[in-house]
Structure 1
Amino acid sequence: MKPGTPTTDPTAPPAPPETGGPPARPTRGRVVMLVDNGVKADSRVQKAARSAARAGWDVILFGVSPTTRIQTFRLGGAQVRLVPKPAHLEPRRHELRHPMLRRPLAYRSQQLARYRVQSVKAWRSDLAFRRAAARAARAGHPGGAAGGSALRLLLPRLLARALNSWVRLRARETAKLQKVRGPLTAPVDRATTALWSLLLGKRAWRRLMPNLWDYELAFAAHIDAFEPDLIHAHDFRMLGVGARAAVRGRARGRTVRLVWDAHEFVPGLPPVHGRWLPGHIAWEREHAGFADAVVTVSPPLAHRLQRGHRLPEPPAVVLNAPVMAPAADEIADAPPLPDLRALCGIGKDTPLLVYAGGISAVRGVDTVIDALPALPGVHLALVSVTPRKMKAVNGTRKAAVAAGVADRVHLLPYVPHWQVPAFLATADAAVSPLRHLANHELALSNKFFEYSQAGLPLLVSDIRTMAETVRETGQGEIFRAGDPEDFVRAAKEVLADPGRYRKAYGRPGLLDGWTWEAQAEVLDALYTRLLPDRPPPG
Structure 2
Amino acid sequence: MEFDGAAEARNTRGRVVMLVDNGVNGDSRVQKAARSAAAAGWEVILLGRSPHGQPQSWRLGDAEVRLLPMPDPLARRRHEYRRAWLRWPLAYPPNGIAPWRAQAAKARQADLRFRQAQLTLAARAGRPDPLGQRLLRLRTLTAQLRRRWVSFRYWQLTRAQNGRKYRNPWDRSFTWFWQRTRGDGAWRRLEPGLWDYELAYGPVVDQLAPDLIHANDFRMLGVAARAKIRAQTAGRTIRLVWDAHEFLPGLKPWRDNARWLPANVGHEREYAPYADAVVTVSEALGDLLRGQHDLTERPAVVLNAPAVGDRPTGVDEPQPDIRRLCGIGPEVPLLVYSGAAGHQRGVDTMVAALPELPGAHVAMVVNKPTGPQTLEVLRRAARLGVADRVHVLPYVAHWQVVPFLAGADVGVIPIHHWPNHEIALITKFFEYSHARLPIVVSDVKTMADTVRSTGQGEVFRAEDVADYVRAVRAVLADPARYRAAYDRPGLLESWTWEAQAGILDEVYTRLLPGSARPGAGLPSSADALAGGSRPTVGLPA
Structure 1 unaligned runs (5+)? Answer: 1-8
Q: 1:168, CA displacement in angstroms?
A: 6.4
Look up the match of 1:5.
none
Q: Deviations over 1:377-408 (max 9, x none)?
A: 1111212255x742323322222222222222
Work out whether 1:49 is the aligned partner of 2:51: no
Structure 1 residue aligned with 2:232? 250
Pick aligned residue for 2:55 from 41, 61, 70: 70
How has the CA–CA distance of structure 1 residues 374 and 207 changed in structure 2, closer, same or farther, with 3 Å as cutoff?
same
CA distance in 1, matches of 2:115, 2:411: 67
**Structure 2 CA distance for partners of 1:456 and 1:166, relative to 1, 3 Å:** closer
Q: Which residue of 2 aligns with 1:374?
A: 356
Do structure 1's residue 363 and structure 2's residue 326 form an aligned pair? no
2:326 to 344, 348, 354: 344
- Are 1:238 and 2:212 an aligned pair? no
Matched, 1:39 2:29: no
Matches within 5 A, 1:437-516: 437-516=418-497
- The corresponding residue for 1:228 is 210
Query: Which residue is 1:15 aligned to?
Result: 4
Contact 1:64–1:84 (CA<8 Å) still a contact in 2? yes
Match of 2:305 among 294, 298, 321: 321
Aligned mates of 1:112, 1:199 — CA distance in 2 = 39
For residues 277 and 133 of structure 1, do their structure 2 counterparts lie closer, same or farther at Cα, with a shift above 3 Å needed? same
Instruction: Decide whether the 8 Å contact of 1:385 with 1:393 is kept in 2.
Output: no
Report deviation, 1:518: 0.4
Aligned equivalents of 1:124, 1:317: Cα separation in 2: 62
- The change in CA–CA distance for 1:176 and 1:426 in structure 2 (over 3 A counts) is closer
For residue 180 of structure 1, the aligned residue among 163, 169, 174 is 163
In structure 2, give the amino acid aligned to 1:306: R
Where does residue 535 of structure 2 map in the other structure?
none
Q: Relative to structure 1, is the Cα distance of residues 193 and 227 closer, same or farther in structure 2, using a 3 angstrom cutoff?
A: same
**Counterparts in 2 of 1:110 and 1:401: CA distance versus 1, 3 Å:** farther
One-letter amino acid of the counterpart of residue 521, structure 1: G
Q: Secondary structure at the match of 1:520?
A: helix
Give secondary structure in 1 for the equivalent of 2:163.
helix
Contact 2:43–2:63, Cα closer than 8 Å, also in 1:
yes
- The question of 1:91 aligning with 2:76 is answered yes
- The one-letter amino acid paired with 2:227 is A
Residue 390 (structure 1) aligned with residue 390 (structure 2): no
Residue 333 of structure 1 aligns to a residue whose secondary structure is coil
Following superposition, the deviation at residue 373 of structure 1 comes to 0.9
Is 1:522 matched with 2:512?
no
Q: Which amino acid is the alignment partner of residue 405 of structure 1?
A: V
Contact 1:180 1:186 in 2 (8 A): no
Q: Distance in 2 between matches of 1:263 and 1:412?
A: 26
Residues 384, 77 of structure 1: CA spacing in aligned structure 2 closer, same or farther, 3 A cutoff? same
Structure 2 vs 1, CA of residues 140 and 331 (structure 1 numbering), >3 Å: closer, same or farther? same
Task: Provide, for residues 205-263 of structure 1, a one-character-per-residue CA deviation record: whole Å limited to 9, x for no partner.
Answer: 21122111111111112111111000001111111111111211122111100011111
Which residue of the other structure, out of 222, 227, 246, is the alignment partner of 1:264? 246
Aligned pairs, number:
515
Deviations 1:78-104 (A, max 9, x none): 011111111222221221234245555
Does structure 1 retain, via aligned residues, the 8 Å contact 2:34–2:63?
Answer: yes
Which one has more relative contact order, counting CA pairs under 8 Å at least 6 apart?
2
What's the counterpart of residue 80 of structure 1?
65
The letter of the residue matching 2:12 is: T
Distance in 2, matches of 1:144 and 1:449, equals 76
Q: Distance in 2 between matches of 1:394 and 1:431?
A: 20
Task: Give the aligned residue type for 1:363.
Answer: R
Matches of 1:339 and 1:164 in 2, distance apart?
Answer: 51
Between stretches 346-355 and 121-130, larger displacement belongs to: 121-130
Q: Is the 1:458–1:476 contact (alpha carbons within 8 Å) kept by the matching residues of 2?
A: yes
Deviations 1:47-98 (A, max 9, x none): 0001001111010111112223211111111011111111222221221234
- The 1:389/1:149 distance shift into structure 2, 3 A limit, reads closer
- Displacement of 1:185 in angstroms is 1.5
C-alpha distance in 2 between matches for 1:234 and 1:61: 11
In structure 2, what is the equivalent of residue 303 of structure 1?
287
Q: Structure 1's 423 and 128: CA in aligned 2 closer, same or farther, altered over 3 A?
A: closer
Distance between the aligned counterparts of 2:303 and 2:136, measured in 1? 78
Deviations 1:81-131 (Å, cap 9, x if unpaired)? 111111222221221234245555545438555556666888899999999
**Structure 2: how far apart are the matches of 1:143 and 1:206?**
67
CA distance in 1, matches of 2:460, 2:342: 19
- What's the secondary structure of 1:73's corresponding residue? strand
Output the CA distance in 2 between the equivalents of 1:331 and 1:390. 33
Asked if 1 retains the 8 angstrom alpha-carbon contact of 2:81 and 2:95, the reply is no
Between the aligned partners of 1:426 and 1:455, the Cα distance in structure 2 is 10
Report the CA distance between 1:425 and its aligned residue.
1.6
TM-score by length of 1: 0.86
Distance in 2 of aligned mates of 1:175 and 1:231: 42
CA distance in 1, matches of 2:297, 2:491: 26
Given that residues 6 and 207 in structure 2 are in contact (C-alpha distance below 8 angstroms), is that contact kept between their aligned partners in structure 1? no
Segments of 5+ residues of structure 2 without an aligned counterpart are 521-541
| Aligned partners of 1:372 and 1:405 also within 8 Å | yes
Cα pair 2:112 2:136 within 8 Å, conserved = no
Residues 103, 408 of structure 1: alpha-carbon distance in 2 compared, 3 angstrom cutoff: closer
Aligned partner of 1:356: which letter?
S
**Is 2:188 the counterpart of 1:206?**
yes
One-letter code of the match for 1:381?
A
Question: Taking every aligned residue pair, what percent have the same amino acid on both sides?
Answer: 54
Q: How far apart in 2 are the matches of 1:121 and 1:263?
A: 47
SS in 1 for 2:66: strand
Are the aligned partners of 2:185 and 2:266 in contact in 1 as well (CA < 8 Å)? yes
SS at structure 2 position matched to 1:338: coil
Q: Residues 9-54 of structure 1, C-alpha deviation per residue, up to 9 Å, x if partnerless? A: 4xx4x324999xxxx9721000000111111211101100010011
1:304-333 alpha-carbon deviations (Å, 9 max, x no partner): 11111111111111000010124x6x2433
Check the 8 A contact 1:435/1:463 in 2, yes or no. yes
Cα distance between partner residues in 2 of 1:161 and 1:349? 59
